[in-house]
């Protein structure tokens, strides 16, 4: 049985599992508690204490994008991952990773600065650098949406799960306004049945989502 530990970026993994129709369970992880004392079982899985982590039999992994690549390779094939010989593959791979390394990583720190930092540090240099980084990477997403409805072209792929998660996080970060084409894209990806089922599982995420 595949077990996903934690929501947050674990939503990506749960969404993918729902798209693929694989059996899994979500094991909640409460990051707000002092993990060291409260959750030794999770720390045995990931001593770093961050989420998500995933176990599948003897396999234990962290990093949401790596977990997605593993699941599609081991439990595929799936149309969510174009093959290396497919002309869509380079763009797919680029946006699969840009969604985390370019977008979510930057916007996660914007979120932290705006919601968790001491008031006098909420707009400090590093917070502004993270916001600028998110903005420059978004130019690639916007250009792609001028060319096609999805990150890899005409069809939804795992790259859209990766990028959509970053966009959902950006809506919670504060001070980020998505333009209409990006909003329409996010409405398209999150209208999928698999996303709605993922939200039924990731109840903490569902309950913290901002109203539009
Ligand atoms: N690049 C990692 C990021 C993991 C990450 O930063 N997760 C956040 C929540 S979504 C977290 O656990 N933060 C608490 C911490 O880093 O201790 C991934 O994609 O899985």
pLDDT averaged per 10 residues in sequence order, the chain, 212 residues: 97 98 97 84 96 98 98 98 98 98 98 95 95 98 98 98 98 94 98 98 91 66
DSSP string, 107-137: HHHHHHHHHTS-GGGTT-HHHHHHHHHHHHH
* CATH number for the domain whose boundaries are 89-192: 1.20.1050.10
9 lines ligand 1 (CB under 6 A): yes
pLDDT of residue 211: 64
Ligand 1, pocket-test mutation among 5, 9, 14, 112, most atoms within 8 A of CB: 9
Give the architecture-level CATH label for domain 2-80.
3-Layer(aba) Sandwich (3.40)
30 lines ligand 1 (CB under 6 A): no
CA of 146 to the centre of ligand 1 (A): 31
- How distant, in Å, are the alpha carbons of 63, 152, 181, 188, 189 from that of 134? 19, 20, 17, 21, 20
Domain ranges for the chain, please list them: 2-80, 89-192
Among residues 172, 198, 173, 171, which one has the least CA distance to residue 186? Answer: 171
Q: How far apart are CA 54 and CA 67, in angstroms?
A: 7
Name which residue sits closest to atom 2 of ligand 1, judged by CA: 63
pLDDT of residue 35: 78
Among residues 74, 65, 153, which one has the least CA distance to residue 103? Answer: 65
Distant-in-sequence, close-in-space partners of 154: CB < 8 Å, separation ≥ 6 = 148
């Amino acid at each position: 049985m595949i077990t996903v530990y934690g929501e947050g970026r674990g939503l990506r993994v749960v969404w993918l599992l729902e798209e693929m129709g694989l059996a899994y369970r979500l094991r909640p992880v409460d990051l707000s508690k002092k993990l060291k004392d409260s959750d030794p079982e999770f720390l045995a899985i990931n001593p770093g204490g961050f989420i998500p982590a995933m176990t599948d039999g003897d396999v234990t992994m962290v990093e949401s994008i790596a977990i997605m690549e593993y699941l599609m390779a081991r439990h595929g094939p799936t149309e969510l991952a174009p093959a290396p010989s497919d002309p869509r593959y380079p763009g797919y791979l680029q946006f699969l990773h840009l969604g985390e390394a370019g977008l979510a990583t930057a916007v996660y720190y914007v979120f932290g600065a705006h919601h968790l930092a001491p008031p006098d540090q909420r707009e400090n240099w590093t917070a502004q650098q993270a916001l600028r980084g998110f903005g420059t990477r978004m130019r690639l997403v916007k250009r792609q949406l001028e060319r096609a409805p999805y990150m890899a072209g005409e069809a939804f792929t795992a790259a859209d799960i990766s990028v959509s998660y970053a966009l959902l996080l950006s809506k919670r970060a504060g001070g980020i306004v998505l333009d209409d084409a990006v909003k329409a894209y996010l409405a398209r990806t999150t209208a999928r049945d698999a996303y709605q089922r993922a939200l039924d599982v990731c109840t903490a995420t569902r309950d913290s989502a901002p109203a539009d």
